[in-house]
Amino acid sequence: MKIGVLSVQGAVSEHVEMTDGALRDLGRSGSAVVVRRVDQIEGIDSLIIPGGESTTISRLIDRQGLRDSIIKRGQEGMPIMGTCAGCVLMARAGDDDVERTDTKLLSLMDMKVVRNAFGGQRESFEAELDTVLFEEPFHGVFIRAPAMTEVWEDCAALARLDEHVVMAGQADFLAVAFHPELSGDSRIHRYFLDL
């Protein structure tokens, strides 16, 4: 199994390490590879879009000519996980900030995101999250995190914090508003690999 980590900007190496660790934990062969070209997107079995800055990542996706192949492979059923800025890009709809910055979303998941949903005092924080996926809470690291204000159709809320949805799933897509690669807990990566 070859898991691509999109490497145009943002927290790439942490995802590579966490994914390799999750493969080991599951006793599965395979590895995480960094991808930044179309031919590399064609050769992977699943893709992680990391955190960073969604406007920048979106522009670099276009500059590298990756948008069509990411969307096409996603529509063909390739599992994709977007975390933080990557979570923003998975959405079909965004807030005024997404519009204002002309951040082009991949529109793969039926959900609306707000950027920097926890702004101000709570720009960065950590929280224990109850999720639909696991019995034990997941320790979420939030860094200028987005959140989903609406999910519809086949998109399901998997974790909430306050009034926000902070993790959502739709078919083989996963959107995570926090940074699962930074908590030293590979359960979300293992869940993704199982998809």
Active site residues: 84, 179, 181
Residue 66 or 147 having the CB closest to ligand GLN: 147
Tell me if 116 contacts ligand GLN by CB under 6 A.
Answer: yes
85 binds ligand GLN (CB under 6 A): yes
Single-letter residue type at 176: V
> 144 or 187: whose CB is closer to ligand GLN?
144
Burial label, 166 (beta-carbon count in 10 A; 0-12, 13-18, 19+) = buried
- Name which of 127 and 171 has its Cβ closer to ligand GLN: 127
Q: Are 61 and 53 in contact (CB under 8 A)?
A: no
Binders of ligand GLN among 31-60, rule CB under 6 A?
51-54
Residue 81 as a binder of ligand GLN (CB under 6 A): the answer is no
Residue 88 near ligand GLN by CB under 6 A? yes
| Residue 129 tokens, joined | 């999250």
Residue 47 burial (CB count, 10 A): 20
- Measure the CA–CA gap between 41 and 59, rounded to whole angstroms: 17
Distance, in Å, from the CA atom of 78 to the CA atom of 156, rounded to the nearest integer, reads 18
Minimum CB separation from ligand GLN for residue 84, in Å? 3
Q: Which of 15, 73, 112, 115 binds ligand GLN (CB under 6 A)?
A: 115
3-state SS class at 100: helix
Q: By CB under 6 A, tell whether 6 contacts ligand GLN.
A: no
Q: How far is CA 15 from the centre of its chain?
A: 11
Q: How far is CA 119 from CA 1, 85, 146, in A?
A: 38, 14, 9
Nearer to ligand GLN by Cβ, of 73 and 115: the residue is 115
Q: Does 12 bind ligand GLN (CB under 6 A)?
A: no
Q: Interface residues with ligand GLN (CB under 6 A)?
A: 51-54, 84-85, 88, 115-116, 143-144, 146
